[in-house]
Chain A
Amino acid sequence: MRRFIIRRAIQSVLLLLAISFIGFMIVHLAPGGPEVKFMMDPRMTPQDIYNIREHYGLNDPLPVQYGKWLLNASHLDLGVSYESLYPVTDEIMRALPNTLILITAGMVLGLLGIPIGIFIALRRGRFTDNLVRVLTVAGSAIPSWWLGLLILLGTSNLAISTGIKILPLPGYNAAETNNPWYFVWQLVLPSILIALAGWLTYSRITRTQVLDILSQDYIRTAHSKGLNQQDINQHHILKNALIPIITTFGAQLPLLIGGSIIFEEIFSLPGIGKLTIDSLTRSDFPVAIGVLMFVSLVSVGALFICDILYALVDPRVRY
């Protein structure tokens, strides 16, 4: 087990190095840079541009730049934003809580898909099962952010015509009001929409998993030795069905983090996704690469933990 964890940890570090190298190269091969925001100034001379680039260390050869960046990044110094001149880590830390709360809320709500999956698997072929299967297909064909737009369209029309505000209007920022309940109010719809993906995925996986377990010999044995259905459900089915869900949970995380970008945009939450979009529209590359690295760190770390949990929970996994 120890060897497995060490090997997996080394893998994760190598993975992060690979991601950082690719990300760094992409960002640094791009046109633009810190001098862009001064380009409109007619007084700028080539010497000035050279000086600005020198200041940020952009005149060094690319491998040297990468080495320096990596060295700094290893003690959490991701450079300075071209735009705001704040350290990138500060920018990320300021945006992080919003994204973290949104994703956690969505993730926890999404876990409700597991009981749904067990429920419909035990009622295979009946009305609820078929209904959920139809909803699953329909649900995976709808972009969930568009669903959010539709609901906002409805509620804001209602708010404009009658003055009843069920949900906050777009552009509303609860952070300015300092009232935590307004923040919760703003988060309700986006977290449900994020959870929707979880419901679809977890219920489907749990359903197939439970159906698979139901046909196993040990379930028949449990029945024949006279255990009641509830005991079998709890001890034989649920425990075994949860094993692959751990992996799915880990694999979902990068998708969730990615998906939060679009919800932050629609529901005007100033989180990591908004930071990325802003940094790219302003060619603020240190922030862009910093966010990419941070987000990759989170998802690589989560997958690492999930793999170890998986090995701990399932004794059949060989390390």
Chain B
Amino acid sequence: MTRSTSEILEPEVTTTTPTIPVAKDKDPRGFFKTALSRFFKRKLNVVALVVFGFIAIISAIAPILTSTFIGTTPAYFRASFSPAYAPPGTTETLRTGANVVHWLGTDELGRDTLTRLLHAGGASLSIGFLVAIIIVLIGVPVGLLSGFFGGWVDDFFNAIIQIINNIPGLYLFIILAGIFRPDILFLSLIFGLLSWTQTARQVRGLTLTMRNREFVTASIAVGARYPRILVQHLLPNIVSILVVLVGADIALAMLGEAALSFLGFGIRDPDVSWGKLLANSSNYLTYSGNHNPFLIIGPGMMIFITILSIYLIADGLRDAFDPALRK
């Protein structure tokens, strides 16, 4: 018992002594450069960055890659079914497992799985990043304003956040997507408009804790205008948290897009995303002819690896920006 007592008490002593920034510790290279060098010191961060970069690059140059190495053109990958691009045959014979020509096999229309996987990355990633941009553009100003001014501004935004948070999101997504049949941009817009609330709340909380700090009072005292205080004094202080939030936003948007596309309400033909590639895949399961497990494993693995690396990068950046947060 005594051992566990000391164990419980000890970390408290170490964690509650804050690392006070002393002037001589200040790195002459500046805030961002020190943070970046701290980021690259951890191997896991570098690995995650390399993996993510690799996926982003192969997704970006997918048309070139596939036409040079696999011999499949964009027209081929986009074709829903055309005898010109696929060998004649029925669904049973067209779907094949991995072989020398098709490294990851083909789907029920004879389309090469690897080609489609590479092409799908673009849509998935761009939706993730577009949504994150929209969330930051709405969530950060809303959070800053309602945290800084409080009162009716806070109440007003809070009411909107309450409405959005109380609707079961996926239902509204599906209804909106089912009715308006959106393209990638519009889809990201819907996603962004319905999911900025978490970020706004976090930013609001952070702003609230900083509003009464000396540097804010001082800037008010010297007559700084509100926009200046918000943008120049408060914003830099929330960057480290914002990085993690953006990482989570990208990941959640990609997961949401995958779910929506899987249900048939997200990305539409002839575009593909990783989630879209999984749509109808439960039909393959009971099927007794040629099997191609990569049709299910492939897109999911891509989603998993991409999101995992995004989480790790965001976490690493947070630690690098704000070492005091590391526990």
Tell whether, in the assembled complex, residue A262 and residue B179 are in contact, meaning their CB atoms are under 8 Å apart: no
**Contacting residue for A215 out of B15, B165, B263, CB 8 A:** B15
Interchain CA distance A288-B105 in the complex, whole Å:
39
Closest CB in chain B relative to A9 CB, distance in Å:
14
A254 contacts B by Cβ under 8 Å? yes
Chain A 265-297, CB-CB to B under 8 Å as 1, else 0, gives: 110000000001100110000001001100110
**With A19-B163, A30-B180, A228-B1: A299-B303 Cβ-Cβ less than 8 Å:** no
Closest CB in chain B relative to A176 CB, distance in Å:
16
Q: A23, A124, A143, A220: which has the most chain B beta carbons within 10 Å?
A: A143
CB-CB nearest in chain B for A157: B291
Closest CB in chain A relative to B23 CB, distance in Å:
30
Q: Which residues does chain B contribute within 8 Å of A255, judged by CB atoms? A: 168-169
Tell whether, in the assembled complex, residue B167 and residue A19 are in contact, meaning their CB atoms are under 8 Å apart: yes
Tell whether, in the assembled complex, residue B311 and residue A141 are in contact, meaning their CB atoms are under 8 Å apart: yes
**Contacting residue for A152 out of B9, B175, B259, B285, CB 8 A:** B285
**Contacting residue for A229 out of B1, B11, B293, CB 8 A:** B1
Tell whether, in the assembled complex, residue B167 and residue A219 are in contact, meaning their CB atoms are under 8 Å apart: no
Tell whether, in the assembled complex, residue B166 and residue A153 are in contact, meaning their CB atoms are under 8 Å apart: no
Closest CB in chain B relative to A225 CB, distance in Å:
12
A149 contacts B by Cβ under 8 Å? yes
**With A142-B304, A157-B291, A229-B1: A262-B262 Cβ-Cβ less than 8 Å:** yes
CB contacts under 8 Å to A, within B256-302, are 258-259, 262-265, 278, 281-283, 285-286, 288, 291, 293, 296-297, 299-300
CB-CB nearest in chain B for A149: B296
Closest CB in chain A relative to B4 CB, distance in Å:
6
Interface size range on B against A:
35 or more
Tell whether, in the assembled complex, residue A30 and residue B168 are in contact, meaning their CB atoms are under 8 Å apart: no
**With A27-B179, A215-B15, A276-B175: A170-B282 Cβ-Cβ less than 8 Å:** yes
A196 contacts B by Cβ under 8 Å? no
Tell whether, in the assembled complex, residue A215 and residue B12 are in contact, meaning their CB atoms are under 8 Å apart: yes
Tell whether, in the assembled complex, residue B166 and residue A150 are in contact, meaning their CB atoms are under 8 Å apart: no
Closest CB in chain A relative to B13 CB, distance in Å:
10
Closest CB in chain B relative to A183 CB, distance in Å:
19
Tell whether, in the assembled complex, residue A149 and residue B282 are in contact, meaning their CB atoms are under 8 Å apart: yes
Tell whether, in the assembled complex, residue A295 and residue B171 are in contact, meaning their CB atoms are under 8 Å apart: yes
**With A124-B11, A169-B285: A153-B293 Cβ-Cβ less than 8 Å:** yes
Tell whether, in the assembled complex, residue A140 and residue B169 are in contact, meaning their CB atoms are under 8 Å apart: no
Interchain CA distance A300-B162 in the complex, whole Å:
10
A223 contacts B by Cβ under 8 Å? yes
CB contacts under 8 Å to A, within B152-190, are 162-163, 165-172, 174-176, 178-180
Q: Which residues does chain A contribute within 8 Å of B299, judged by CB atoms? A: 146
Interchain CA distance A27-B163 in the complex, whole Å:
17
Tell whether, in the assembled complex, residue A152 and residue B258 are in contact, meaning their CB atoms are under 8 Å apart: no
CB contacts under 8 Å to A, within B6-21, are 8-9, 11-12, 15-16
B251 contacts A by Cβ under 8 Å? yes
Closest CB in chain B relative to A42 CB, distance in Å:
26
Closest CB in chain B relative to A159 CB, distance in Å:
9
Tell whether, in the assembled complex, residue B179 and residue A300 are in contact, meaning their CB atoms are under 8 Å apart: no
Tell whether, in the assembled complex, residue A26 and residue B303 are in contact, meaning their CB atoms are under 8 Å apart: no
Q: Which residues does chain A contribute within 8 Å of B138, judged by CB atoms? A: none
Tell whether, in the assembled complex, residue A137 and residue B308 are in contact, meaning their CB atoms are under 8 Å apart: yes
Q: Which residues does chain B contribute within 8 Å of A137, judged by CB atoms? A: 308, 311-312, 315
Interchain CA distance A307-B136 in the complex, whole Å:
29
Q: Which residues does chain B contribute within 8 Å of A169, judged by CB atoms? A: 285-286
Interchain CA distance A23-B176 in the complex, whole Å:
9
Tell whether, in the assembled complex, residue A27 and residue B175 are in contact, meaning their CB atoms are under 8 Å apart: yes
Closest CB in chain B relative to A81 CB, distance in Å:
15
Chain A 19-51, CB-CB to B under 8 Å as 1, else 0, gives: 100110011001100000000000000000000
B135 contacts A by Cβ under 8 Å? no
Q: Which residues does chain A contribute within 8 Å of B170, judged by CB atoms? A: 258-259, 261-262
**With A30-B180, A170-B286, A228-B1: A15-B163 Cβ-Cβ less than 8 Å:** yes
**With A146-B303, A170-B286, A276-B174: A300-B166 Cβ-Cβ less than 8 Å:** yes
A66 contacts B by Cβ under 8 Å? no
Closest CB in chain B relative to A303 CB, distance in Å:
6
**Contacting residue for B166 out of A31, A124, A254, CB 8 A:** A254
Q: Which residues does chain A contribute within 8 Å of B168, judged by CB atoms? A: 254-255, 257-258, 295-296, 299
Closest CB in chain B relative to A284 CB, distance in Å:
10
Interchain CA distance A138-B308 in the complex, whole Å:
7
B307 contacts A by Cβ under 8 Å? yes
CB contacts under 8 Å to B, within A172-201, are none
CB-CB nearest in chain A for B172: A292
**With A140-B311, A153-B293, A153-B296: A280-B178 Cβ-Cβ less than 8 Å:** yes
CB-CB nearest in chain B for A19: B167
A206 contacts B by Cβ under 8 Å? no
Closest 4 CB pairs of A and B: A258-B170, A280-B178, A146-B300, A30-B179
CB pairs A–B below 8 angstroms (11 shown): A27-B179, A30-B179, A141-B311, A143-B303, A145-B262, A157-B293, A262-B170, A265-B282, A276-B174, A292-B172, A300-B166
Query: Which residues of B come within 8 Å of A, CB atoms?
Result: 1, 4-5, 8-9, 11-12, 15-16, 162-163, 165-172, 174-176, 178-180, 251, 255, 258-259, 262-265, 278, 281-283, 285-286, 288, 291, 293, 296-297, 299-300, 303-304, 307-308, 311-312, 315
